[in-house]
Every structure is written in C-alpha cells, then in structure tokens.
Amino acid sequence: MSDEFTTTVYYDDDADVSTIDDETVAVLGYGSQGHAHALNLHESGVDVIVGLREDSSSRADAEDAGLRVETPDVAAGEADRVVMLVPDTVQPFVYEAIEDELDAGDTLQFAHGFNIHYGQIEPPEDVDVTMVAPKSPGHLVRRTYERGEGTPGLIAVYQDATGNTKEESLAYAKGIGCTRAGVIETTFKEEVETDLFGEQAVLCGGVTEMVRTGFEVLVDAGYSPEMAYFECLNELKLIVDLMYEGGHMGMWDSVSYTAEYGGLTRGEEVIDRDGMEKILEEVQNGEFAREWINENQANRPSYKQYRAAEENHQLEVVGSRLRELFSWGGDAEAQTEEAPADD
C-alpha cells in the first residue's frame, strides 16, 4: 500500500496572499468561522468588510475588532469576493439579498458545499464559485493563526469563470493560515458527502448513540449511573486524544493488552455496516438534504423533539453533576465555547 497522498496538498510556498491584494472581501457572518476568517484576513493585509444584519448582536464585536461592518447587500456590492459564512439553513435567504450585487468576474465562496451541491443556491455562470474550508472550529482557526500556526483546510473549485479561481482560493487559504498546516484539493461533491456522512455515522451520530446505548446497557444491568458515565463517556476523550495523536496504532500501543484484545475482537459487533452504507446512500441521493430542508421549512419540529429528549436523558443529568467534581469543569466549558453561529 502506498504511503503517498492520493490528492494534492498545498502549503505556504504554493500560495501568495498578494494574489488577492486588489480584492475587497465581504465576509458574511461573524460567528464561529466568520470572525476567524475576517480577523485573520485583515491581519494578513486583505481588505475586509463584514456583512451583518442591522440588528446583529455581533456588529459591536466586529467593529471593536477594527473591522468595517455593513449590511450583507452593501458589503457584497462593494466586494470582489463574497464569502458565505452564515449557517447552511440561512444561506439561501442571504443569497437572495445579495445575488443582484454579484458582477461578472466576482467570486462567491463557501466553507461548506451543501447549498451548491443540493441546488439551493444557483450562482450565475459568469462568477467564480469556490470553497475554502478549514477542518477545524473557528476559534481554533483564529487561535492557531495568532500563534503563527494554522489548521488544515480544503479548497475546491465548482465554477471557474475567470481562470484564476484556484490560485486565488489558495491565496485566501494562506490569508487565514490554512496553508501553514496544509490544504487538500477536493470537490464540492466529495466535501459535502463525506462531511455529512462523517457527522451522521461517526462523529456526531455514531459516537453519541454508542455512548448513550452503552450507558443504558450498564444502568439497565444494575450498575451505577456514575460508573456507567465514567466508562462510556468520560474516558472517551482519553481514547480519542490518543487516536488523534497517533492513529489507531498509537492508541492500541497506549492501552492495556486486555483493552486492546477486547477492542480488536469485539468492536465490530456493535457496528452496523449496512446502516452506515444506508446513511451514505441517503446523503448521495439527496434524501437527507431534502429531509433537512423540509424540517427547517416546518420550523424544525422533529429536531426540537430529539434535542429535548437528549437534554433530559439520564446520561446528561448524571454527567452534569459529575463534571462539577472535576477541577477543570468550569474552564473546560469556556475553552470549548465558540462565537455565535447564527449571524
């Protein structure tokens, strides 16, 4: 098996921020990603305007940071590059407000390809459509940039009207610090479908369901909720940290032989591969996208029910009490808090 990358990876030497020196960039949104992109670009010497509603709670924060703030339509009208960093569910409505401000040769840029891939936004053919997507929460994009480091990212070109889209996307990626760590070239289709699948089957859906079910199995068998919490949730961070640092083998090398043998021989019994493949199929054929779009149009009734059930689950009640025992409990929440996402 080859140890070479199967796709191209770009670094600082492959990009030049001066490529977009003559551009004005409108960053629409000042939430998790928006504040990081706007501030990093500004400090990289790029002319940035932040686009926010008149009543946005983030306007004061952006202005206090020394950034110019306008309404999204005004910002887009003055910009050569319009960057959509509001939530996916809001983007089609924001696009309606700014689409008349896009001129031939402008760039419409995203950090996630959902609305382009599933046809919720259909840009004119004479603008560039690109993606620059840090693979990290926004607060880390900002924090690592300030330390002179960076987070890995993705670039993708969906529509290249000018012939300069890739070069300018790399310049933008360098401006927010991603080329310091490495930027992988992908496509809108690949980014969206792998991202949704990963969230649902592993990162957000699979892990939480596994933790919740494991907790329930132990409690239903008569073990204390506190012990079930420690074994099924608290120690998960230790394992994930080991995998993050050294892959699966780094983790296996750090746990006991008993844990390693048990994991290697029993892990596949709790994984439903057919279910995972069904999730991927629903992402690929658009079924999940249609469901989520309809859910938002109906004011998210199912989402609210699922969230309420999660919030009231015994796992959450027990965990809330136990976390108060940890000396780092208060600091941990502050460290993971991000800027608002709904501006």
Alpha-carbon gap, residue 317 to 320, rounded angstroms: 5
Q: What is the DSSP letter of 90?
A: T
Give residue 229's Cα distance to chain centre.
27
Question: 218 to each of 2, 75, 228, 230, how far by Cα in Å?
Answer: 42, 55, 6, 11
- Active-site positions read 112
Alpha-carbon gap, residue 85 to 31, rounded angstroms: 8
Tokens representing residue 296 in the block? 């938002």
Nearest to 343 by CA among 138, 53, 36, 27: 53
What angle do helix axes 32-43 and 165-175 make, rounded to 10 degrees? 90
Alpha-carbon gap, residue 42 to 67, rounded angstroms: 8
Dihedral (CA of 25, 26, 30, 32) sign: negative
Q: Calculate the CA dihedral of residues 80, 31, 171, 134 and round it to 10 degrees.
A: -140
List strands edge to edge, sheet with 81-84: 9-10, 183-185, 153-159, 128-134, 107-110, 81-84, 24-28, 47-51, 68-70
CB 65 within 8 A of CB 319: no
CA-only gyration radius of the chain, Å: 22
CB 311 within 8 A of CB 228: no
Alpha-carbon gap, residue 207 to 214, rounded angstroms: 10
